Structure 1
Amino acid sequence: MLDILWVLLCSGLVFLMQAGFMCLESGLTRSKNNINVAVKNFLDFGISVALFWLFGYGLMFGASQVGWLGWGSFTPTLSMPESAVFFLFQAMFCGTATTIISGAIAERLNFNSYLLIAALVSGLIYPLFGHWAWNGLLADNSGGWLQIIGFVDFAGSTVVHSTGAWVSLATLLIVGARQGRFSKTGTANKIQGANMPFSVLGILLLWFGWIGFNGGSTLAFNDQVPGIVVNTMLAGVMGLLTAAALSALQHRRVEVEVIINGAIAGLVAITACCHVVTTPLAAVVGMTGAAVATVVEYWMVRSRLDDAVGAVAVHGGAGIWGTLCVALFGQLPLLDTGLTRLSQLFVQLLGCGICFAWAFGVSWVGLRLLNRVMPLRVPAQAEVVGLNISEHHAKTDTYDLFQVMDQQAETQDLSLRVPVEPFTEIGHIATRYNQVMANLERQHQQQVDDLGHIYHLVAIASSALETNTFTIQDPELEELSERYDDLGNLARVFQQLLMAVQTRQQTLETLWPLVMQADVGLRQQIVTKMVRDRLPTAGVAESDAIAHQMVTQLDQYATFADVLAAIDASIPQPANRPN
């Protein structure tokens, strides 16, 4: 009964890893997609357990058909405590393999397509490879063909983690990178996750759950358990520290994403061999696992493969390394396969290769066919808006803010306001934004009013030139001069212009008697120029019939200033002429 209790407890710890994956992936992706990420993790677990109960368990642990697939135990009744707890533990493993895919292809995959991928993995890919490697875990079973030739994967570095990684890789190759992840020149642009502390919480939950993941794989509470748990913890710690050191050397800073994946890589690597390596070697496995994951992630970026959370590098790269460490560092008597170390290494390599060929090959073919019928990737606009909205119609405060901004940019309507959700961070932003827009609206209205005054000034000037009337003391000019610097300057300039024109008119009126004393030719030229330049001649030209007859004749002067200069030069100056 103690063994049953232990496996039951470990099943609960492995189930807790679902929460860890959800926190990890939600934090490493952008907030506009976090609901989609959470729902995918939640729903793929339900699909995995349901399909594993319907036929996955039978394919994996049913009576082996020449080592290739199981048959029997479909929809098991599980009346015995031992069989019930074994099924529960294995169902949690199936759910873990499936949920790994969710993070890798986050922020771009159609939701319904993901559910079909989850069904394919949990209903076919995982159970069949699991049969080849683990069918013999049940005492009455003969074992799958990989297990028979000596393949060892204690808790699933390859069976669980690499399976999820290779399906992720196939999906990434088909759906492509997220918008903006890589430039046209091939440069990688970092897409910052929305909540790094949430991701750190996720890795801590995963780490805690890993105690049950590895410790429960003994299927009994025996003397191996303490050493397995210690090896697991130490490998994770060394992976964490190694990743931190590599990040500091490469980037001159410790990046949160790097150390998170370093810790997971150490845990993934030790999973295959934690029962057969010594504690110092467990530390080496964790360190090298983090280094391998770092190299694989570098290769992924160079190949323009956009893994949103680094799942392929961590679960695939470190998974292969951990599986090989069974042969490299494992104690052969504890392995009890009867193979030499070199032969064991060959079998481990074969198992890794078969896992890749099966998981990657089946998912690649299946998803290529599915993509022709139903596009796997969401439309470009849906990706920009975010999968929270496009896939689940889950409106957010930021979405409302962006909608108002877009409407204002399109309509130039500054009166639009953002809905405010009280007592929230985005609500404070919306309130401040509305205040800014209110101030801008007032300034815009003031500018409109000022333009109205300017138009009025133009009307005054046009009317003055048409009617030859000049009003210097205009009330609106005085008001503008007092209220506004720029418009006031304009008003003062306009006043000075009117005063100058009025002064010139007075000068002409004073000079006119002298002009009349000049010869006829000069008078003709002066009057003609005055009419052409629209100068105030009312009441003057009418008194001289000769001038009216000569109005249409051309004169030799280009401007009115030339006429005045000619007057000043040719007419004798009286003693009382104004200056």
Structure 2
Amino acid sequence: MEEVTAIVIEQKELISAIDTVWVSICAAIIFLMEGGFALLEAGFVRSKNAMSIIAKVIIDITFGGLAFYAVGFGIAYGTSNGWFAFDMGIIESDLGLGLTVSNKLFWFIQLGFAIAAISIVSGAVAERMKVWPYAIYVIIFCAIMYPLAANWVWNPNGWLAIRGFNDFAGSAAVHAMGGFAALAAAIVLGARLGKYDQDGKPVAIPGHNLPLAAVGGFILWFGWFAFNPGSTLGAVGNWELIGDIATNTFLASAAGGISTIIYTYFKYGQIDITMTINGVLAGLVAITAGCNVFEPGSAIIIGLIAGVLVDVAVIFIDKIRIDDPVGAIAVHGVNGLFGTIAVGLFASEDGLFFGGGTDLLITQTIGVLVIGTFSFVVTYIVMKIMKKTIGIRVNRSEENAGIDAVSFGVEAYTTFE
């Protein structure tokens, strides 16, 4: 009997060791995605504001990371009443998730999701938002806003989790959450100077370094193969699922890039490479919710739709005079919404197109609409309050000169004589 017990203990330790290595690697790669956000967004803005983007991403990680550790994690994974939890000591407790890795490692991988969500906002407010008000918003987002959405979706007692809501890696809880927050922030901030002419027509403000943006896009693309498969939270017993998720993730992203290439070629007479970068990301965002329940063919269809949808959304957002320098609202908000609802249509067992009826579709639609509305409304209120009190936008002279020189006293590219 003692020998059997020893073997069982040894097996559990081996499983925990393997799963710990898997989750550690995925968590580190997800953390690296912040570098992707930084390069992508910096490349898409003018050189005079490139360093302010780097600063905002660092604020996402530092201020947001500590806020998520001190408060947010307890709200997300404490004992929930369905909508809310508040247990600051939960990192040392049994989370009730059946984890084979330590709570602290689980916290670290969850940190990657939290700071990814807030990094979506940093691009939409680029070139015109003050640093310190942004830092305050980051704390609120990572301490309270994102954790509430995570509670609803991934806490075992969350109201959406109980309903059977499927958001495997966060099309709703991460991307729609960040995308609709970006929408509210961009509305309150207003457009950049010179973005619209006297007739209200949009004026193109090209990014200063598109190869840099492309490298950022590739880093994000690479990171997604940890973001989605890493959400299994363990490798043992999940090898087939991990393979399915990785395959679906790639197929959707490639299809997103292809459809954007074809669509922009026929619409504009030439391929829009900058939009293609966002098309790939749109496919990744859209597949994230249901990467665990889609067939490969469905993943391709979802990616093809996302790649067109992102361009349509960017043009529409521009026409209604909402200035989003990097396309964050279209990529993350619109396609987070689409990808979450797509689960109700394309899920291989319960999706409408596979004979599953409308129950899952209704749950997915309700869930993502509540999350998106919540994120938009709270962000709008917070931004309005800060605008009326401490101010959230740099003044006209600072905006013309560039945030880098005025706020940080540095330039992204030093000139030599």
TM-score, normalized by the shorter chain, greater than 0.5: yes
Q: Does 1:99 align with 2:113?
A: no
Contact kept, 8 Å, 1:332 with 1:341, in 2: the verdict is no
> Partners of 2:89 and 2:63 in 1: how far apart?
16
Q: Which residue of 2 aligns with 1:61?
A: 77
Aligned mate of 2:37, from 15, 21, 36: 21
The residue identity in structure 1 corresponding to 2:300 is A
Contact kept, 8 Å, 2:47 with 2:412, in 1: the verdict is no
Q: What is the CA distance between 1:340 and its match in structure 2?
A: 4.3
Q: Which residue of 2 aligns with 1:319?
A: 336
> Partners of 1:186 and 1:294 in 2: how far apart?
20
Aligned mate of 1:108, from 116, 128, 131: 128
Contact kept, 8 Å, 2:91 with 2:103, in 1: the verdict is no
Q: Which residue of 2 aligns with 1:203?
A: 217
Gap regions ≥5 residues in structure 1: 137-142, 399-425, 431-579
Q: Which residue of 1 aligns with 2:233?
A: 219
Q: Does 1:282 align with 2:302?
A: no
Alignment of 1:439-518 (within 5 A): none
Q: What is the CA distance between 1:396 and its match in structure 2?
A: 6.8
> Partners of 2:405 and 2:201 in 1: how far apart?
29
Distance 1:395 1:4, change over 3 A: closer
Q: What is the CA distance between 1:68 and its match in structure 2?
A: 1.1
> Partners of 2:272 and 2:312 in 1: how far apart?
16
> Partners of 1:373 and 1:148 in 2: how far apart?
40
Q: What is the CA distance between 1:395 and its match in structure 2?
A: 5.0
> Partners of 1:107 and 1:74 in 2: how far apart?
39
> Partners of 2:165 and 2:412 in 1: how far apart?
50
Structure 2 SS opposite 1:106: coil
Q: What is the CA distance between 1:341 and its match in structure 2?
A: 2.9
Aligned mate of 1:293, from 310, 316, 319: 310
Alignment of 1:229-378 (within 5 A): 229-332=246-349, 340-378=356-394
Aligned mate of 2:91, from 70, 73, 76: 76
> Partners of 1:63 and 1:231 in 2: how far apart?
33
Q: Which digits, 9 at most, give the CA deviation of each residue in 1:196-229, with x for residues without a partner?
A: 1111100110011000000011112112001100
Distance 1:389 1:75, change over 3 A: farther
Q: Which residue of 2 aligns with 1:192?
A: 206
Structure 1 SS opposite 2:102: helix
Contact kept, 8 Å, 1:203 with 1:264, in 2: the verdict is yes
Q: Does 1:90 align with 2:105?
A: no
The residue identity in structure 1 corresponding to 2:136 is L
Q: What is the CA distance between 1:78 and its match in structure 2?
A: 7.9
Contact kept, 8 Å, 1:55 with 1:75, in 2: the verdict is no
Q: Which residue of 1 aligns with 2:152?
A: 132
> Partners of 2:391 and 2:63 in 1: how far apart?
21
Q: Which residue of 1 aligns with 2:138?
A: 118
Structure 2 SS opposite 1:51: helix
Alignment of 1:106-185 (within 5 A): 106-136=126-156, 143-185=157-199
> Partners of 1:296 and 1:120 in 2: how far apart?
28
Compare CA radii of gyration and give the structure with the larger one.
Answer: 1
Q: What is the CA distance between 1:81 and its match in structure 2?
A: 4.6
> Partners of 1:88 and 1:78 in 2: how far apart?
15
Q: Which digits, 9 at most, give the CA deviation of each residue in 1:361-391, with x for residues without a partner?
A: 1111111111110111100110000000111
The residue identity in structure 2 corresponding to 1:297 is V
> Partners of 2:175 and 2:110 in 1: how far apart?
14
Aligned mate of 2:57, from 41, 65, 77: 41
Contact kept, 8 Å, 2:82 with 2:152, in 1: the verdict is yes
> Partners of 1:287 and 1:361 in 2: how far apart?
31
The residue identity in structure 1 corresponding to 2:154 is W
> Partners of 1:150 and 1:397 in 2: how far apart?
50
Contact kept, 8 Å, 1:389 with 1:395, in 2: the verdict is yes
> Partners of 2:366 and 2:52 in 1: how far apart?
37
> Partners of 1:130 and 1:211 in 2: how far apart?
21
The residue identity in structure 1 corresponding to 2:131 is F
> Partners of 2:275 and 2:393 in 1: how far apart?
27
Larger RCO: Structure 1 or Structure 2 (Cα < 8 Å, ≥ 6 residues apart)?
Answer: 2
The residue identity in structure 1 corresponding to 2:84 is L
The residue identity in structure 2 corresponding to 1:378 is V
Contact kept, 8 Å, 1:54 with 1:75, in 2: the verdict is no
Gap regions ≥5 residues in structure 2: 1-16, 95-99
The residue identity in structure 2 corresponding to 1:233 is F
Q: Which residue of 2 aligns with 1:414?
A: none
Q: Which residue of 2 aligns with 1:3?
A: 19
> Partners of 1:312 and 1:33 in 2: how far apart?
20
Distance 1:5 1:215, change over 3 A: same
Q: Give the TM-score normalised by the residue count of structure 1.
A: 0.65
Distance 1:364 1:265, change over 3 A: same
> Partners of 1:110 and 1:151 in 2: how far apart?
37
Q: Which residue of 2 aligns with 1:384?
A: 400
Q: Which digits, 9 at most, give the CA deviation of each residue in 1:527-550, with x for residues without a partner?
A: xxxxxxxxxxxxxxxxxxxxxxxx
Contact kept, 8 Å, 1:16 with 1:209, in 2: the verdict is yes
Contact kept, 8 Å, 1:22 with 1:38, in 2: the verdict is yes
Q: Which digits, 9 at most, give the CA deviation of each residue in 1:138-189, with x for residues without a partner?
A: xxxxx20111112111100010011111111111111101111110112211
Distance 1:83 1:30, change over 3 A: same
Q: Which digits, 9 at most, give the CA deviation of each residue in 1:44-82, with x for residues without a partner?
A: 111121111101000000011x20112324473589952
Contact kept, 8 Å, 1:153 with 1:272, in 2: the verdict is yes
> Partners of 1:81 and 1:275 in 2: how far apart?
21
